[in-house]
Each structure stands twice: as structure tokens, then as C-alpha cells.
Amino acid sequence: MILPAIAILVGLALLAWSADKFVDGASSTARHLGVSPLLIGMLIIGFGTSAPEMVVSAMASIDGAPNLALGNAYGSNIANIALVLGLTAIIAPITVTSKILRREFPLVVIVMLIAGWQLQSGMITHWEAWILLGLFFAFMGWAVYQGRNNDDVLGSESAAQLDSHPMPLKHSIIWLLVGLVLLVLSSRLLVWGAIDIATALGVSELVIGLTVVAIGTSLPELASCIAAVRKKQHDMALGNILGSNIFNTLAVVGIAGAITPIEFDYEVFTRDWATMMVLTIVLLVFGLGRGGKGRINRVEGAVLLILYIAYMVWLFISQTGAAA
């Protein structure tokens, strides 16, 4: 079991590095081709931090482990809110002021409710997965429209960062291809290690996806959020989490289900989806606050972190009970 454990550690490290290089190459290539700053910003913040979940889940589904893919998506959502935002708020309280983010909160809730509706049957079929992907592309179109009509700050900042560190087109394409290849290889390595350990320990692939893999693939969100709050870009930190959770619920699960239908136990709904929904509502309460200005302070950050620990304990107890 030592070799699979090493494979997971190496896979996670290589996954984070390759995702960063892939996004750098893709963003720089897009800049050379004249793509708008807004779309570049969405690529860096939105797609970039969620690329690990997407590729890992796709590889898991291809390898015949769709439950690992589902666990990765939902586990990442839970980790994003409770672990990532909890730790970030403890380091530096997060102020919520953007009207755009306030419009995204109801959208996140709607997406979660759609996910809960699909989980009722115990299976995400091919056509349900394509519905998720269709909703994802609709969301992307809405985000582009809102950005063009309201706020291009994120895109402008991302474009300015690229302009301050210019990369020749040739190098951009090289890093784009290298990053993509390494994303796939590191994901395969991670999935192999996770499946092997799950088999050896008698733990379900779903639980491995909800814990080890989910935490590992959420590291880019953690790094992004901490960097954002240190630069006083609080809305960017919260927007990163909201966008990532929408991406995970719609695109990551959608891609995995489109490859292989996902069959799962009903506890995915009663335990994992319920936790995801409760955390989303808690985040809504913390984020909206009173008087039109919300603030996720250190105490609330600690509450989120405690909720994540409680979920891990619940997961362990339910897994132990199932094994018995």
C-alpha cells in the first residue's frame, strides 16, 4: 500500500503544478489570439482552480470508478465552503459587498437543489448528465453577459498580470500542451492510487473521493482564496468558491456521468448533499449579513471549520457502520 500512497502524493503535487502551467499557457495563448480580458479572467479564476476536479473525475469515470468522480465533486464543494473559506476567514476576515456575488448566491442554491432532485433516483444517467452540462454552458453564457454589462475588473486584473509577465506565443503553446498532458497523467496516477488504497482498506471509492481526493483537488482554491484576501480582493475569494462549486456540481459531475452513468447509495443524498446544502445556506447567511454588507469573520470561519470536522467524523462513523 506504500506505492499507491506515494502515487497519491505525487499525483496531487503534479496535478496542482500542471494545472497552474496549463492555465498560464492557455491564458497567454488566448491573450495572443485577442481573446477578451473578461474571458481570460474567467479562465484563470474559474476554470483554472477547478481543472483538477474536472480531469480527475473524467479519468475516474473512464477507469470505471464513477463514484470516485461523484465523491470528488461533492467533497470538493464541501471542502471549498467549510475548509477553504473557513481557513481563509480565520487568516483574514472576508468582506462581502459585490452585488454580482449577491446574484450568484441564489444561483448556487438553485444548482444545489437541481443536484438534490437528480440524486433522488440513486443514479445519474447519461441524459441527466447532459442536462447538467447544458446548464453549465448556460451559466457560463450568463456569467459572460453579466460581466460585460457590470464589471470587468477581474478580467482587467488578469490581463494586466499577463501583460506584466509576457510569454511568447511559442512558449505559451508549449506550456498549454505540457500542462494538459501532465494534468491527464497526474490524474490517472492519483485515481489509480486512490482506487488501490480504497480496495486495500475496504473503504468505498465514494469516501476516498469525498476525503483524500477532494481535499487534494481543493488546494488550488485554498491558495487562490488566501492570495485574494491578502490583496484585499475579498469578492474574488468568495466568487472563486461560488464559481468553483457551480462548476463542480454541473460540469464535473456532468462530464463524469456523460462518460459512465453514476450509481450510488441513497446516503449520498441524506449525508453528502444535505451537508453541501446546509453549508451553502450557512455561507449565504454569513455572506449577506445585515444592512447590505456581509462579513465572514474569524469566529464564523472557525464555525465553518468545525462543521467540516464534524462532517469528517460523520463520514467516518457511517463508513465504520457500513463495514460492520
Q: What is the pLDDT of residues 180-214, one digit of tens each?
A: 788 778 877 888 888 888 778 788 888 888 988 88
Query: Tens of pLDDT along 60-90?
Result: 888 888 898 899 899 999 999 999 999 999 9
Question: What is the assigned CATH class of domain 2-323?
Answer: mainly alpha
Question: What are the start-end ranges of the H helices in the chain?
Answer: 2-32, 37-42, 48-62, 66-78, 86-91, 99-119, 126-150, 153-164, 169-201, 205-208, 214-217, 219-230, 234-247, 253-259, 267, 274-288, 298-323
For residue 119, list its beta bridge partners. none
Where do the structural domains in the chain lie, given as residue ranges? 2-323
CA–CA separation, 25 vs 179, rounded Å?
8
Name the percent of the chain lying above pLDDT 90: 28
Place of cell 479519468: 59
Write down the pLDDT at residue 153: 47
Predicted pLDDT at 263: 92
Q: What is the CA radius of gyration of the chain?
A: 19
C-alpha 145/C-alpha 133 separation (Å) is 18
Spell out the residues 6+ positions from residue 107 whose beta carbon is closer than 8 angstroms to its own.
Answer: 139, 246
pLDDT value for 154: 47
Report d(CA 181, CA 198) in Å as an integer.
26
Residue 156, classified by CB atoms within 10 Å of its CB into exposed (0-12), middle (13-18) or buried (19+), is: middle
Query: Is-contact 24 202, C-beta < 8 A?
Result: no
SS3 category, 262:
strand
Please indicate whether residue 240 or residue 46 has the higher confidence score (pLDDT): 240
Average the pLDDT over 212-221 and give the result: 80
